[in-house]
Amino acid sequence: MVSKIKTCIFISGRGSNLESIIKRSRDYIFPIKIELIISNNLDAKGLKLAKKYSIPHKFFHSKNSKIFERKSLFEIKKRKIKFLCLAGFMKVLSNNFIKNFGYKIINIHPSLLPKY
């Protein structure tokens, strides 16, 4: 059996990338297991996908980025997650968040924030 890496996906919107990742992660040889989905948007359609596929998910309001990051890190560390994937996540994570996470992060849907 392939040892899968515990992963958290951050989303903000539709979840089209998320759905592809979820479906692919169900493959025997795909290296990740999605343990958590976090969104900064309560209306993100990706949260419905999380429910559909029975994946734990959290919404944290993002007006105060420090609180959002603190709550996210708490959930990530509680689940011993080792990999983050930003899939259409429309916020910039602080250097402090990245240092405190200390593992691997990939952004599969880069944006030109804060320009847009």
Catalytic residues: 109
Q: Report the C-alpha gap between 110 and 64 in whole angstroms.
A: 22
Per DSSP (E only), the strands in 31-77 are 32-39, 57-59
Is the Cβ–Cβ distance between 38 and 60 less than 8 Å?
A: yes
